[in-house]
Amino acid sequence: MKNTTLCHIEKDGKYLMLHRIKKQNDLNQDKWVGIGGKFEDKESPEQCNRREAYEETGLTLGKCEYRGIATFVSDKWETEYMHIFTCSDFSGEIKDCDEGVLEWVDKQQVYNLPLWEGDKIFLKLIEDPSTPFFSLRLEYQGETLVSAILNDEVIV
């Protein structure tokens, strides 16, 4: 089991998205995702989020909101606990990323990109001000979402 972070950095009604096209053997190959990655030893979710955002984008995050946790279960990959953040407080200049291409994408247009089906669920949750924190379990067979459980209630 692995722990990761994912941050949706926001500016002017847009998310900074990463089009994963540069790494070999990438389970996110050709998908658009937020910013994040694996925990290092002894890191908290907040520390991992800040480090990964800086490494991937060159941006230094200020105050972030810890929005939820997604548990990914798959018949192909290791179980993953993804700690999900949003952030609109940042500084610095965007740099090239060795994992893909960074692009500001209008929040409503993000849903038209090649995303994991479960990502669409948690994107709606982070956009909903009545959902302050959530626990989402997403189960995949290959790239197909077969089950989604939100706060212990089946939704897919």
- What element of type H or E holds 123? helix 117-127
- How high is the pLDDT of residue 28? 87
Any idea how long the chain is? 156
The pTM of this model reads 0.95
The predicted-structure confidence for 5-49, as pLDDT tens digits, reads as follows 999 999 999 999 999 998 777 788 899 999 999 999 999 999 999
Among 20-29, 77-86, 94-103, 118-127, whose mean pLDDT is lowest? 20-29
- How high is the pLDDT of residue 23? 75
The predicted-structure confidence for 64-91, as pLDDT tens digits, reads as follows 999 999 999 999 999 999 999 999 999 9
Q: DSSP assignment of 68-109, as one string?
A: EEEEEEESSS--EEEEEEEE--EES----BTTBEEEEEETTT
Tell me the domains of the chain and their CATH numbers. Answer: 2-154 (3.90.79.10)
- How high is the pLDDT of residue 24? 75
Q: Average of pLDDT values for 93-101?
A: 95
* pLDDT of 147 above 90: yes
- How high is the pLDDT of residue 22? 84
- How high is the pLDDT of residue 29? 82
The predicted-structure confidence for 50-70, as pLDDT tens digits, reads as follows 999 999 999 999 999 999 999
- How high is the pLDDT of residue 146? 98
